[in-house]
Structure 1
């Protein structure tokens, strides 16, 4: 609800602005430690991103309330935005977009981590779980770039708006696709902010859609094995 979001937003904004706030039955303030503010910036950005891979991954609708608060805080406290992108890119290189290649001297385990997989005791997480987390993170990013805090300065410009989404899409289509991953994140991105991009970019947007349909989907198809068809079929259905 709007009132709950305002309460959360105000509490975070007050904390970052140096005011005392109640948390866990205690009064806390960033002024209590010389590095207090920097620590809270870091942990807050980390929390926004972890909500992407947890809440949003399980409930797609959660992307919007989380994103509108994150976007509003980013507008007032740009350092949070910088750290949000740093955490996001580390956990989900596809949000850059970037596909880390296997470099000489890098272990397979380390390479899997660079690709965004969770590796515990040399055991790599299952593909379905990995894709679910990546979906949550991409959906959160796609929501952040199109939403502004509605109760703030009406003239304020978005700190990381739709032009970044347009750039992401163009870059994505200039990269060689990866089986399973590319179709998944492309669908997530377009489902969340395709409509906003269409309103802003109009004819240019439809040209990109034709390019995806006629050129990029066949390229994804060419590298997709029969066991990885799920995400590709969902993307094709969406594009119809």
Structure 2
């Protein structure tokens, strides 16, 4: 069922990545005149503030709260009048695991009614974390080391490269949100099927573990995804999911140890051993039921 091969991406996943990236670049090209126009700076700053405020304030505090934030973001995307309020709040998905589900639920809801939004969201996410394609970017000829590191998802601040801990913390947040989206329902009022549901998670997992592991990043991302989706995937796929867990524990983990064996690897091993010992999978903290809002 599972096999390992050295490659940077599976063809179908890479084609999807290219498709979304082309859409992203086409949109970027259209707004370049506005971005480069000095007279538009005030307007752009107002737009950034208008969208950041409801996004940063998203939480699953109540169904009314989520509806309120959905309406504000939806109105902004559709060019409706939007009042900028002095809201405060943030969502530290990389630090607080349950924070991902409120954000994921709004993303799924927007994706259902605005399919292009979903494509652009994935394109943006893949730029920040190509491992979620999954795609292991290779260095191009004549490409500088700094530019290559940026394609891998690393950030530079005032010309200084972030440390590995900062990089992995951010990748944790991306993986957490990515996996939360695939198991989270949106608004009850929307009748469209989930645009990126559990079947995509199963496909991603089987692709990911059939590729050679990437030092540190693979164990970080795989741990977060499994911790988030395992209960839902076991509920859907049953014994097939257990076979996947066995493969990861006894075939994938040894390959990880060939390149690095650290605390991140041990953490993933402990999680897998617990799954295989108990055959029990707990719903992640913050998971929202289908009828939440």
Bucket of the pairwise TM-score, normalised by the shorter protein: 0.7 to 0.9
Aligned-partner Cα distance in 2 for 1:120–1:137: 19
Residue 166 in structure 1 maps to residue 202 in structure 2: yes
Segments of 5+ residues of structure 2 without an aligned counterpart are 1-60, 274-293
TM superposition score normalised by structure 2? 0.68
Match in the other structure for 2:182: 145
Would you say the 8 A contact 1:142–1:189 is kept in 2? yes
Would you say the 8 A contact 1:146–1:161 is kept in 2? yes
Residue 235 in structure 1 maps to residue 268 in structure 2: yes
Aligned-partner Cα distance in 2 for 1:124–1:230: 23
The structure showing larger relative contact order (alpha-carbon pairs under 8 Å, at least 6 residues apart) is: 2
Stretches of 4+ aligned residues off by more than 4 angstroms: none
Deviation for aligned residue 1:123: 2.2
**For residues 69-114 of structure 1, what are the alpha-carbon distances to aligned partners after superposition, in whole Å with 9 as ceiling and x for unaligned?**
1110111111110110010000111111111122221111111111
Match in the other structure for 1:10: 71
Please give the root-mean-square deviation of Cα atoms over the aligned residues, in Å: 1.7
**For residues 195-235 of structure 1, what are the alpha-carbon distances to aligned partners after superposition, in whole Å with 9 as ceiling and x for unaligned?**
1111111121111101001100010011105xxx0110110
| Structure (1 or 2) with the greater helix fraction | 1
CA gap 1:9/1:179 in 2 versus in 1, 3 angstroms: same
Aligned-partner Cα distance in 2 for 1:222–1:152: 50
Corresponding residue SS for 1:56: coil
TM superposition score normalised by structure 1? 0.82
- 1:100 is aligned, of 124, 137, 140, to 137
Deviation for aligned residue 1:21: 3.4
Residue 214 in structure 1 maps to residue 247 in structure 2: no
**For residues 172-205 of structure 1, what are the alpha-carbon distances to aligned partners after superposition, in whole Å with 9 as ceiling and x for unaligned?**
0111101111111000000111111111111211
Residue 56 in structure 1 maps to residue 93 in structure 2: yes
Corresponding residue SS for 2:93: helix
Aligned-partner Cα distance in 2 for 1:84–1:220: 30
Segments of 5+ residues of structure 1 without an aligned counterpart are 26-50
- The aligned runs of 1:1-240 (5 Å cut-off) are 1=61, 2-17=63-78, 19-24=80-85, 55-153=92-190, 155-224=191-260, 229-240=262-273
Corresponding residue SS for 1:63: helix
Aligned-partner Cα distance in 2 for 1:130–1:222: 22
Aligned-partner Cα distance in 2 for 1:148–1:209: 25
Corresponding residue SS for 2:183: coil
Deviation for aligned residue 1:3: 1.6
Match in the other structure for 1:30: none
Corresponding residue SS for 1:21: coil
